[in-house]
Amino acid sequence: MNGTSMSEKAIAMSGVNKWYGHLQVLKGIDLEVGRGEHIVLCGPSGSGKSTLIRCINHLEEIQQGTVTVNGTTLAQKGGNADHIRRDVGMVFQQFNLFPHLTVLQNCMLAQRRVRRTPAVEAKEKAMRHLERVHIAEQAEKYPAQLSGGQQQRVAIARALCMDPKIMLFDEPTSALDPEMVKEVLDTMVSLADDGITMICVTHEMGFARAVAHRVIFMDRGEIIESAKPDVFFSNPSHERTKAFLSQILNH
């Protein structure tokens, strides 16, 4: 990653605190993500990593701090969330495809309703992205007729149809059967190669090594450690990171 494009911030989180009732789930999060940067977020379950990325497109409200996306600071109550969501695509653990729409319709709906793109154009773009994730031949099928890996690739295509500058991945391979993980990761690697800004919550450490510029480790709502992948895996500086890595790598 060259220095000039990294100097502009795609995302800046500063002093972010979030509570569910009395439980504080994010504690003083400071995080800056450069344009085109790829970040892998990992940590034990309940560490707040999913919550963190869901704050970026305001699926979750924060109580303190600021979140700035491409220069727009998210209003506390999310008044300008739509503006931010225009630049941010999201892929979920459970795919969340719309079951009553075909693959093609899934990719066209938001283009039509949010962007008001004419049908022909929306369809053309949908097909382009479906081809890109190698699933164009399934365009007329319904989500339930596809495998998990195929569904997740459709979900990626659906997000790409909105021309996001930033992609958030929330454990995109955790709900997949093992033999389908690779096809989804391959798709994500090709996206990364195109230089899109990416934050990915995952425990796929091979993926982290291959595409991440930085790996961030969270525990109990805090960012514990942030390092380049080679340093992160070979020489983590915190005990909690070491303990976590030994749990997920040694078996």
Partner 1 sequence: MTYKYDFEPVFAAWPMLVDGIVGTLKMSSLSMVMGLSLGIVFMLMRMSKHRAPRALAIGYIEMIRNTPILVQVFFVFFGMPAIGIRLSGEQAAILAMTLNCAAYAAEIVRGGVQSIRPGQIEAGRALGMHGLDIYRFIVFRPAIRAVYPALCSQFILMMLNSSLMSSVSAEELTYFAQTLDSQTFRSFEIYLTLGVIYLALSQFFSIALGMIGRVYFSYPAK
**What is the contact surface with partner 1 in residues (CB under 8 A)?**
57, 59, 81-82, 85-86, 88-90, 92, 94, 96-100, 109-110, 113-114, 141-142, 144-145, 158-159, 162
CA–CA separation, 40 and 35 (whole Å): 15
CA–CA separation, 164 and 55 (whole Å): 17
Q: Taking the complex as a whole, how short is the minimal distance between the CB of residue 107 and partner 1, in angstroms?
A: 10
Q: Taking the complex as a whole, how short is the minimal distance between the CB of residue 230 and partner 1, in angstroms?
A: 32
Q: Taking the complex as a whole, how short is the minimal distance between the CB of residue 185 and partner 1, in angstroms?
A: 21
Q: Taking the complex as a whole, how short is the minimal distance between the CB of residue 122 and partner 1, in angstroms?
A: 13
Beta bridge pairs of residue 18: 26
Closer residue to partner 1 in complex, CB, 136/175: 175
What is the H or E stretch that residue 11 is in? strand 9-20
Closer residue to partner 1 in complex, CB, 92/207: 92
Closer residue to partner 1 in complex, CB, 161/192: 161
Distance linking the first and last C-alpha atoms of the chain: 33
Tokens, residue 64: 């303190």
Closer residue to partner 1 in complex, CB, 88/227: 88
Q: Taking the complex as a whole, how short is the minimal distance between the CB of residue 62 and partner 1, in angstroms?
A: 16
> How buried is residue 175: exposed, middle or buried, by Cβ count under 10 Å (0-12/13-18/19+)?
middle
Whether the Cβ atoms of residue 223 and residue 202 lie closer than 8 Å to each other: no
Closer residue to partner 1 in complex, CB, 106/241: 106
